[in-house]
Amino acid sequence: MVMIRTRQSTRRLRVMACLAAAVLLVAGCGSGDGGSKGDDGRLSVDASFYPLQWMAQQVGGLHVSVSNLTKPGAEPHDLELSPKAVAQLNDADVVVYLSGFQPAVDDAVKTAAGTVFDAKASAKLDRTFGNDTTGEAKPGATDPHFWLDPAKLAVVARSFAATLAERDPANAKDYRAHAARLVAELDGLDRAYDSALSDCSAKDLVTSHEAFGYLANRYGMEQVGIAGLTPGQEPSGADLANVTTFVKRHNVRTIYFETLVSPAVAKTVAAEAGARTAVLDPIEGLTDRSEGSDYLEVMRANLKNLQLGQPCP
Ligand SMILES: [Zn+2]
């Protein structure tokens, strides 16, 4: 908080200085080409939600100052940006976002002066939503939740390192080294998931928020969503009846819910169908209720809950 405020006030000073110097056509205010940096010598990076913030911090290290447009505990799907947040985004050296995920950010990046990195370009979003109990996909809705597949996040991290290296060539070597270290950590996580989930008795992953399609796909499971595209979406009575029937028929033992929204729906289905509930965190934002203090820790907690819930030996 303190850091953000300090950065904003130094920005304000910078903007004022730029305005004062405008008649002299001084270059280097806001963005322009190559490495315009804050007074602390670091690139200012605005990330649109938590996994991208974490990735940007890992890759940028001490050369960047990263802030998150989605405040802790807020739901990123329906993010609204204040005029102040839009102004901050416009002034950032680098903006990291995922197009098609947060409409307010899609709009705001159109006027961003800095380098804009869209994770979608490297994340290969090849899944659509709505593989519900009838197996029908709702056409046109792309599943954005790539970060729950560590292999996809690793590809995005490498691509982001290349973008930072281009923006700030003096530190290019560091960005590549940081990315390599991050990719190694994500590889380790991927291997842990692979071996832990290779022999589970249930392959159906029943979740309140349909965020685990990429994860399920990578580790040989099938996601069955209770709600649809966004966690706020209320399932209809027919949806609930379908899922309850599915849970009973497929002998599903666990219904997963997430930390940012109420578990009421998952609990209702579980009670109806004689299953239990457990947390599976889509890591769209961290709160003090998160089962870990960063992406890696929450992913490991998710793995433990999956092993117990599916269950896997
Ligand atoms: Zn989501």
Give yes or no for residue 173 having a pLDDT over 60: yes
Greater pLDDT, 134 or 201: 201
The percent of residues in the chain predicted with pLDDT above 70, rounded, is 82
Greater pLDDT, 170 or 226: 170
The domains located in the chain, with CATH, are 2-190 (3.40.50.1980), 199-309 (3.40.50.1980)
CA distance 17 to 29: 9
| Of 51, 19, 68, 29, residue with least CA distance to 145 | 51
Greater pLDDT, 247 or 234: 247
Q: Residue 15 C-alpha to ligand 1 middle, in angstroms?
A: 36
- φ, ψ of residue 95 to 5 degrees: the values are -115, 130
* Residue 114 CB-half CA count within 13 A: 31
pLDDT band at 261 (very low <50, low <70, confident <90, very high): confident
| Of 266, 152, 262, residue with least CA distance to 205 | 266
- The two tokens of residue 202 are 């249930």
Q: Residue 98 C-alpha to ligand 1 middle, in angstroms?
A: 12
Q: Residue 170 C-alpha to ligand 1 middle, in angstroms?
A: 36
pLDDT band at 17 (very low <50, low <70, confident <90, very high): very low
Q: Residue 231 C-alpha to ligand 1 middle, in angstroms?
A: 6
Q: Residue 209 C-alpha to ligand 1 middle, in angstroms?
A: 7
Greater pLDDT, 310 or 251: 310
Q: For 211-247, give the DSSP string.
A: --HHHHHHTT-EEEESS-SSTTPPPPHHHHHHHHHHH
Q: Residue 225 C-alpha to ligand 1 middle, in angstroms?
A: 12
Q: Residue 237 C-alpha to ligand 1 middle, in angstroms?
A: 22
Q: Residue 194 C-alpha to ligand 1 middle, in angstroms?
A: 23
Q: Residue 25 C-alpha to ligand 1 middle, in angstroms?
A: 44
Give yes or no for residue 32 having a pLDDT over 50: no
User: Range with the lowest mean pLDDT among 72-86, 120-134, 182-196, 234-248?
Assistant: 120-134
For residue 178, what are the CA distances in angstroms to 95, 117, 246, 295?
A: 19, 18, 45, 16
The number of helices, as runs of H, and strands, as runs of E, in the chain is 11, 8
- The two tokens of residue 115 are 């380098």
- The two tokens of residue 155 are 């590809």
Range among 37-46, 125-134, 168-177 rated most confident: 168-177
**Residue 55 in contact with residue 157, Cβ under 8 Å?**
yes
pLDDT band at 233 (very low <50, low <70, confident <90, very high): low
CA distance 65 to 45: 6
Q: Residue 299 C-alpha to ligand 1 middle, in angstroms?
A: 15
Give yes or no for residue 83 having a pLDDT over 70: yes
For residue 18, what are the CA distances in angstroms to 36, 44, 93, 112, 249?
A: 13, 17, 15, 17, 66
State residue 150's pLDDT score: 98
Q: Residue 223 C-alpha to ligand 1 middle, in angstroms?
A: 14
Q: Residue 286 C-alpha to ligand 1 middle, in angstroms?
A: 13
Give yes or no for residue 81 having a pLDDT over 90: yes
pTM of the model: 0.83
In the chain, % helix, strand, coil (3-state, to 5) comes to 50, 10, 40
pLDDT band at 8 (very low <50, low <70, confident <90, very high): very low
**Residue 312 in contact with residue 177, Cβ under 8 Å?**
no
